[in-house]
Chain A
Amino acid sequence: MAQLSDSRYAAIKGAGLGLKRELIPQVQAEFGKPIIANIDFLEIAPENWIGIGGRPAKQLAWFTERFPVACHGLSLSLGGPDPLNEDFLHQVKQFLDLHKIPLYTEHLSYCTDFRDGVGGYLYDLLPIPFTEEAVHYVVQRIRRTQDILERRIAVENASFYVAAPISEMDELTFIRAVLEEADCDLHLDINNIYVNSINFGFDAHQFLRGIPGERIVYSHVAGHYQEAPDMIIDTHGEDVIDPVWALVVEAYQLFGAFPTLLERDINIPPLSELMREVDMITAYQAPYLIHDESLIRKKVALR
């Protein structure tokens, strides 16, 4: 069994919940009560909070004072054809420092184009073709990001719907090559493994076994929308399904109980319902957490 929690991000451990605007008043109302005891950390998208004032700024301060927070970015466009947005990265760095946020992760994807010498945002995660050249290109941008932020970042395996016909390798080979060459960490999205396994017909468990577990900083679970037997849209708008939980359990068996966070972006049910899934994460982690005393105490208290 691998290390339990990465000492570099000691605050990010156990079970987490993605903090959406709709959930803010509910989490504030239940703070300190047993119902949300299993929320060990929260996740925010820096693109929603950087440079904000007024009421949301006060809300953000309330949360960062009370919870460990991880930043999961959406707009960096690590695979984008336009120049890396270094002004934005400096803003991210200031933001992480200001709020003492230890961890920043991004997607192994792109969200920009480049027309007439000008980059433009499309505000969605698009699939990078898995080629040798793309590996080197993305690696160099991850390295530059780590230099500017003065810290390691983790990249997340993305979900996608179109396999590039020009790809020279499979997704797992691509991810492994990027991680090794950039020497960065992995933000493992377990739902995305499942989504892609259905969309492109591969064995999710075999994929999971090929993941370099020692690089995982934390993971995501989420629900999705099954549009057709061979087509899943990664909506984060439904409950997590059993085959995804089965992958979570296998991942803990393989790599230890790394921190895991529930993403829910649309159709957000009341917090009490979401907590059932956060509690499931805690329960699945329990058998693999024998060395982490603080989490064990929590578990005992819950019984």
Chain B
Amino acid sequence: MTAGNDVDAQSLPAFQQYQLAFTAHIRNPGQNKLPSKVPASRMKVYTEIVFNNLQSSVSACFPVASKVLGKRAWTRLVRDFFIHYQSATPIFRQIPEEFLKYLSMAPSLPPYLYSLAHYEWIELAISVADIQDATADPAGDLLEGKPVLAASLALLSYDYPVQLISPRFRPDAPLPQPVNLLVFRASDDNVRFIELNALTARLISLLKDGELSGSISGRQALESIATEMGQGDTQSIIQFGHAILIDLKAQGVILGTVIPG
């Protein structure tokens, strides 16, 4: 993409040609000349302020990814984002999501970086999602009743141990099995992460799908897991699963059960 060089640029009013030259220079001062007769010292104020503000907005959401990459590489990455990407949102808290979209197609990044950035972004997304918890019976029977999950919640599966990555630990290969993480907004509005085993992840996934299609009971969810596993001992799966449901309730992932009516 080349900035400000549209073929029909000449047909634009003079003030818009000037504006496009102005913004093209701000985005990529190394490549695009500043508009003619504009003092370089004054123009520099814009090239610095605009980029620094953007970089702060992006970096605030990605404290680990920026440290893992290192200051110089991170700054270059944000600059590439600014040069190559047309951010489409007027809403400031969505800037990190735009950056994430850019990362998904950015060349030559460490293979784990997108997963790590996604893991950092999801905390923000879950904390401010515009969705409210449904009412639930906190004393309901989690096995026979239909469990209600925290409304702002996401089940995640990453090929890298994103929760462990730091400047001292940069994974050089994907995990043999993906890591399952649950992130949710608790009733106190704080965001929590829980690492899940495969069975619990499947259970939450079934309950979540069930909520969309009219709810299923804890027992129904566990019975279908037993069927999926092709295991004869449904009873022990239900027993084991019941304990998981009680634990998820204690952690605030499950709020209670659907109130009939």
Contact = CB atoms under 8 A, between A and B. Distances in A.
Interface string A93-121: 00000000000000000100111101111
Contacts of B93: 48, 52
Interface stretch (B30-38, B65-73, B167-175, B198-206): B30-38
Contacts of B14: 129, 131, 133, 166
Interface string A172-199: 0000000000000000000000000000
Contact of B19 (A53, A85, A88, A129): A129
Contacts, number: 136
B20 A58 contact: no
A54 B86 contact: no
Contact of A113 (B20, B49, B90, B128): B20
Given A121-B89, A128-B19, 16 more contacts: A52-B128, A53-B129, A53-B131, A55-B189, A80-B19, A81-B16, A110-B19, A119-B86, A119-B88, A122-B50, A123-B54, A123-B57, A124-B46, A134-B15, A165-B35, A233-B49
A76 interface: yes
A50 interface: yes
A126 interface: yes
A164 interface: yes
A87 B24 CA distance: 25
B233 interface: no
25 contacts: A52-B128, A53-B129, A54-B129, A54-B152, A54-B185, A55-B127, A79-B19, A81-B16, A110-B19, A114-B20, A118-B88, A121-B89, A122-B50, A123-B53, A126-B50, A128-B15, A129-B18, A131-B13, A161-B42, A162-B22, A162-B38, A162-B43, A164-B15, A164-B38, A231-B42
B4 interface: yes
Given A113-B24, A137-B13, A121 B88 contact: yes
Interface of B: 1, 3-4, 6, 12-16, 18-20, 22-24, 26-27, 35-39, 42-43, 45-46, 49-50, 53-54, 57, 85-93, 95, 127-132, 152, 185, 189
Given A81-B19, A113-B23, A166-B14, A76 B90 contact: yes
A126 B45 contact: no
Contacts of B1: 115-116
A64 B195 CA distance: 38
Interface of A: 45, 47-48, 50-58, 74-77, 79-81, 85, 88, 110, 113-116, 118-124, 126, 128-129, 131, 133-134, 137, 161-162, 164-166, 231, 233
B90 A85 contact: yes
A8 B130 CA distance: 31
Contacts of B189: 54-55, 58
A296 B90 CA distance: 40
Given A52-B130, A123-B57, A47 B19 contact: no
Contacts of B85: 120
B83 to A, nearest CB: 10
A133 B86 contact: no
A237 B27 CA distance: 25
B50 A115 contact: no
